[in-house]
Amino acid sequence: MVSKVYELFPRLVYSNSNIKECGGYFQNKIEKDEALTQEELTISSYLLSYLPTQTNLTKNELKNYFTKEEALVLISLFTGTYLCNFSSAKEKLITEVRAAIYYEHIDETYKIDGKKLINKLENLTEFQAFTVLSMIEESFFLGKMSDEEMKKIFNID
């Protein structure tokens, strides 16, 4: 089972299942003294349970922010890549897009304005960027998707 450790919460470990404390150890065998206290576990569980709601609210903020082609660029850059071990969602997006434009001319391939996409990414808040990464993940887990499904995920009319 895949586990993630976030830099801001070094003792918070979660997987795609619920947070579980098993005799002082978590699924990745964290030492007992590193395990979350009951209070930290309760707070973490609450925050994680609120994450889908907050992400959906942020998706609404980003309604029609990207064009269909820009969304396809973002999806294509992260296909086959599990998003983990990054400290800034915004920097992750910007770095990947800049590199793809410079080295692969992805802007020409998808017929988009690369500078405009970079500018859009630079104007995102950190949580909006996190939401964009979660939309990319949602696309990845959906597998082969139609244009309508992609537009729904990226909130494009």
- Half-sphere exposure for 72 (CA within 13 Å, toward CB): 15
Residue 14 to residue 123: CA distance in whole angstroms: 30
pLDDT score for 141: 81
Q: What is the pLDDT of residues 61-113, one digit of tens each?
A: 999 999 999 999 999 998 755 556 667 899 999 999 999 999 999 999 999 99
Which of 8-17, 23-32, 38-47, 48-57 tops mean pLDDT? 48-57
- Half-sphere exposure for 18 (CA within 13 Å, toward CB): 8
- Percent pLDDT > 90 in the chain is 51
Angle at 142 between CA 137 and CA 147, to 5 degrees: 100
Is pLDDT above 50 for 23?
no
CB count in 10 Å sphere of residue 60: 9
